Amino acid sequence: MNIIVCIKQVPDTAEIRINPETNTLMREGVPSIINPFDLHAIEAALQIKEQKGGKVIVLTMGPPQAETSLREAVSMGVDEAVLLSDRAFAGADTWATSYTLALAIKKLGADIVFCGKQAIDGDTAQVGPETAEFLDIPHISYIRKIEEVKDNYIRVERLMDEGYDVVESSLPVLLTVVRELNQPRLPSLKGKMTAKKAEIKKMGMTDIGADENNLGLKGSPTKVKNIFAPEVKTDREMIDGTPEEQVDGLIKALKGIKCI
Amino acid sequence: MPVVVKPEKCTGCETCLSSCPFDAIVLKEGKAYINEYCNACMTCMSVCPEGAIIETETGALSAESRQKIEEYKDVLVFAEQKDGKVISVSYELLGAGRRLADELGAKLVAVLFGAGETEAKELVRWGADRVIVCSAPELEKFNDDPYSALLASVIEEQKPSIVLAGATPVGRSFIPRVAAKLRTGLTADCTSLEIDKETRNLLQVRPAFGGNIMATILCPDYRPQMATVRPRVMKKGEYNSDRTGDIVNVGLDNIKSRTKVLEFVKEVSEVSVNLHEADIIVAGGRGIGGEKGYRMLEELAEALGGAVGASRAAVDEGWIPYSRQVGQTGKTVNPKIYIACGISGAVQHLVGMQSSDIIIAINKNPEAPIFNVATYGIVGDLFEILPLLTRKIREVKNL
Ligand SMILES: Cc1cc2nc3c(=O)[nH]c(=O)nc-3n(C[C@H](O)[C@H](O)[C@H](O)COP(=O)(O)OP(=O)(O)OC[C@H]3O[C@@H](n4cnc5c(N)ncnc54)[C@H](O)[C@@H]3O)c2cc1C
Ligand SMILES: Nc1ncnc2c1ncn2[C@@H]1O[C@H](COP(=O)(O)O)[C@@H](O)[C@H]1O
- Ligand positioned closest to the Cα atom of B350: 1
Instruction: Work out which ligand 1 atom sits closest to the CA atom of A123.
Output: 1
CB B3 within 8 A of CB B34: yes
Cβ B331 under 6 angstroms from ligand 1: no
pLDDT attached to residue B18 = 81
Q: List, as ranges, residues 150-179 from A with C-beta within 8 Å of B.
A: 155, 157-170, 173
CB A134 within 8 A of CB A104: no
pLDDT attached to residue B399 = 73
Sequential pLDDT tens for chain A (260 residues): 999 999 999 988 666 666 655 555 666 677 889 999 999 999 999 999 999 999 999 999 998 999 999 999 999 999 999 999 998 998 899 999 999 999 999 999 999 999 999 998 877 899 999 999 999 999 999 999 999 999 999 999 999 887 899 999 999 999 999 988 999 999 999 999 999 999 999 999 999 999 999 999 889 999 888 888 766 666 789 999 999 999 999 999 998 887 77
pLDDT attached to residue A15 = 66
CB–CB of B376 and A134 under 8 A? no
pLDDT attached to residue A120 = 85
pLDDT attached to residue A114 = 98
Considering only CB atoms, B188 lies closest to which of A124, A168, A251, namely A124
Residues 6+ positions from B92 with CB-CB distance below 8 Å: B229, B231, B232, B233, B234, B235, B236
- Ligand 1 pocket test target in B344, B347, B354, B386 with most atoms within 8 Å of CB: B344
What is the residue type of B224? P
Q: What are the backbone dihedrals phi and psi of residue B64, each rounded to the nearest 5 degrees, phi first?
A: -65, -45
What interhelical angle do A189-197 and A67-76 show, nearest 10?
A: 140
pTM of the model: 0.81
Ligand 1 centroid from CA B283, angstroms: 11
| B chain contacts of residue A166, beta-carbon cutoff 8 Å | 261-265
Report ipTM (2 d.p.).
0.84
Question: Which residue positions in chain B have pLDDT lower than 70?
Answer: 1-2, 57-64, 210-212, 268-273
pLDDT attached to residue B1 = 47
What span, in angstroms and rounded, lies between the C-alpha atoms of A134 and A103? 8
What span, in angstroms and rounded, lies between the C-alpha atoms of B166 and B143? 16
| A chain contacts of residue B360, beta-carbon cutoff 8 Å | 250
Task: Report DSSP letters for B267-294, one per residue.
Answer: ---HHHHHHHH-SEEEEE-GGGTTHHHH
Cβ B368 under 6 angstroms from ligand 1: yes
pLDDT attached to residue A183 = 94
